[in-house]
Amino acid sequence: MPKKVGAGTSNVSKSIVWDKTTDDTYHHIILKSPLIIMLTPVLTLVASVATVFYSLYIIVSTYLLRHRMKREYGTLPPKKLPQKDPVFGTDVVLQNLDAAKKFGFLALLKKRHAEQGQTFTTNTYLRTTINTCDPKLIQTVLSNQFEDFGMGPLRRKSASPLLGRGIFTTDNETWAHQRALIRPSFIRAQVTDFSIFETHVNQLIQLIARENYTIDLQQLFFRMVLDSNSEYLFGESVGLMSDYASDSAHTFHHALDYAQQGTILRLRLGNLMFAHRDAKFRDSCGIVHAYADKFVKQALEFREHEKLYPMEKKDEYARTKYVFLNELAKDTDNPIMLRDQIVNMLLAARDTTAGLLAFAFFLLARNPRVWDKLRADVLENYTEPLTYDAVMQMTYLRYVLQETLRLFPPIATNSRMANKDCVIPVGGGPDGRSPMFVAKNNVVTYSTFVMHRRPELFGPDAEEFIPERWETLRPGWEYLPFNGGPRVCPGQKFALTESSYTIARLLHAFSGIENLDPTDWREQLTLSLTLNNGVKLLTLSFHAVYLARHAMQVSVPEDYLKDESFEYCILGMWDKVVMAPGLDHRGIECCHKQAAATQ
């Protein structure tokens, strides 16, 4: 039986005493011997030659393997975008950055596809990027050959200062574990609970009134959705819609926006991201993390308390309120993992929903026919309080949201990196119909924005806002507002529910809107698509009775609220309320209650 290494070495160590004399002998006899001195250059040369030959072997064998794969599958190269610099692609990079600066990157991308076809390649930073708007190719990358593609190290490095190792930057087992943690949090019971949104939508309606109905709805939507989603995720609202929003809330909000802008810039720079030396970006990421860490600490403390006192009686609120972070903390006590997850989820939830709402009202303000038809649908099915079942009966509302997502998908462009050499069945050749070889580390960038506006997929009126098309339209992979395949957005139902509830409430409260911005939309591309010029509107026909009821949070009979002076209720100016004729002591008591509550 062979001797164990440990036993043999211990015996040798006992028989050899390595002192200074032994050390000097080793250096003089061995290292400085003429033979060693003579062979050193030779050994160095041999090692260098071996390294060169090994590198050549790897290059040649890789080339031969790829050549064999291409020949076996009959692949053809895709079309190439003409470039002045086909090696580093500086011309393409500068075009992209200049277009983004002028709010026209998506228009540039659409123009390139119109000229080059559904699929073409660009070379930047010594790497080939495959650009596509072909639904079959996108389906292959996102679903059929899902295991062959991932987010890639470049994307992780670009986004890690803000997103860490969250669900939107990880791959393989790490991603699968995070996905499994998140999925249960979007079950139907949570998604259809309108109490999550009610308070925040009430505040939105009151804020519209305070602004004398002339507003930038996009700003209000981002504040409202951040409030509602932070309450769902953290258990506590950021509170931006409140008149008493804290300095820390505003600081967090601004830091979140700035950190997001820096992240998208790093993604655009790619291998040149080292040039991004922005101390404010790093500080903003730190502010976001510190804010989230506070709630992670609370969730972990709550977890330990639950373990110590599992039978402790809770009040009604604690028993019924669902907190996303508390549920995550049941499966892991890693604070960094928890923080990364909620930052990822908060950004995705805020931007997707707020962007959808902003674009919906941007389109409605420019299409009065659609507004009138949608409002009739809402009023016909509206209930007080508004229920999930009632919203599901608003068919035209669903069409409006689907059409908005078609024209303005939340993630206008996305990408995947090949984690090995592979062949996909389309994309090659002049017409893009032949198989195409994709080398390891090449990037496939796909644009849902361009795909959703292709006339051959959605008709000659693909650029127009026509919700009625969804009466018969049943698209497949050509319609991907929330991605597709295993990485499809887990919170899409939540976003659609919150958007539907908010739109229904607003259309019930206001009979019309007037567009105050004659210019066309300008893109704002961060991690999601928004409007650079906002959504500037004038809301019409203020419903004082309806709004006063919600502002006072008490039951007020409709007969008691016939005078327009009840707008003062919404504005909180209780001392200026002029009582309507016939208002009895119950109506007066309602006003007194609210006055006392606001002092």
Is a pLDDT exceeding 70 seen at residue 403?
A: yes
For the chain, give the percent of residues with pLDDT over 90.
53
Specify the range with the lowest mean pLDDT, choosing from 33-37, 107-111, 379-383, 389-393.
33-37
365 versus 247: which is more confidently predicted? 365
Specify the pLDDT at position 63. 84
pLDDT in tens, 190-242: 677 888 899 999 999 888 877 666 789 999 999 999 999 999 899 899 999 88
Mean pLDDT, the chain, rounded, equals 83
DSSP letter for each residue of 430-481: TTS-EEEEE-TT-EEEEEHHHHTT-HHHH-TTTTS--GGGGGT---STT--T
CATH number for 164-409+452-542 (one of 1.10.630.10, 3.90.440.10, 3.30.420.40, 2.40.37.20): it is 1.10.630.10
Tokens of 563: 């005078």
Specify the range with the lowest mean pLDDT, choosing from 468-472, 519-523, 552-556.
552-556
Is a pLDDT exceeding 60 seen at residue 589?
A: no
Span 475-485, average pLDDT: 96
508 versus 5: which is more confidently predicted? 508
Most confident of 23-37, 297-311, 451-465: 451-465
Span 54-75, average pLDDT: 88
Is a pLDDT exceeding 60 seen at residue 582?
A: no
* Domain edges within the chain: 164-409+452-542, 550-598
Q: In which region does residue 373 sit, left (phi positive, over 0), alpha (psi from -120 to 50) or beta (all else)?
A: alpha
pTM of the predicted model as reported, rounded to 2 decimal places: 0.81
Specify the pLDDT at position 53. 78
Specify the range with the lowest mean pLDDT, choosing from 396-410, 530-544, 567-581.
567-581
For the chain, give the percent of residues with pLDDT over 70.
79
In terms of Cα–Cα distance, which of 350, 323, 341 is closest to 233? Answer: 323
pLDDT tier at 130, thresholds 50, 70, 90: very high
Is a pLDDT exceeding 60 seen at residue 186?
A: yes
pLDDT in tens, 132-183: 999 999 999 999 999 999 998 888 999 999 999 999 999 989 899 888 888 7
Q: Could you give the CA distance from residue 436 to residue 69 in angstroms, rounded to a whole number?
A: 10
Span 418-439, average pLDDT: 96
Specify the pLDDT at position 331. 86
Beta bridge partners of 539: 513
In terms of Cα–Cα distance, which of 91, 88, 152, 76 is closest to 123? Answer: 88
Tokens of 420: 């090995």
Is a pLDDT exceeding 50 seen at residue 10?
A: no
pLDDT tier at 538, thresholds 50, 70, 90: confident
pLDDT in tens, 15-50: 445 555 666 665 555 555 665 566 667 667 777 778
Specify the pLDDT at position 542. 42
Specify the pLDDT at position 86. 87
pLDDT tier at 244, thresholds 50, 70, 90: confident
Tokens of 200: 């925040």
Specify the pLDDT at position 597. 59
Is a pLDDT exceeding 50 seen at residue 316?
A: no
Residue 232: CB atoms within 10 A of its CB come to: 24
Kind of pairing, strands 523-525 and 119-124?
unpaired
CA 321 to mean position of chain CA atoms: 25
Is a pLDDT exceeding 90 seen at residue 371?
A: yes
pLDDT in tens, 104-122: 999 999 999 999 999 999 9
pLDDT tier at 564, thresholds 50, 70, 90: very low
Most confident of 244-253, 287-296, 530-539: 287-296
**Residue 422 belongs to what H/E stretch?**
strand 422-428
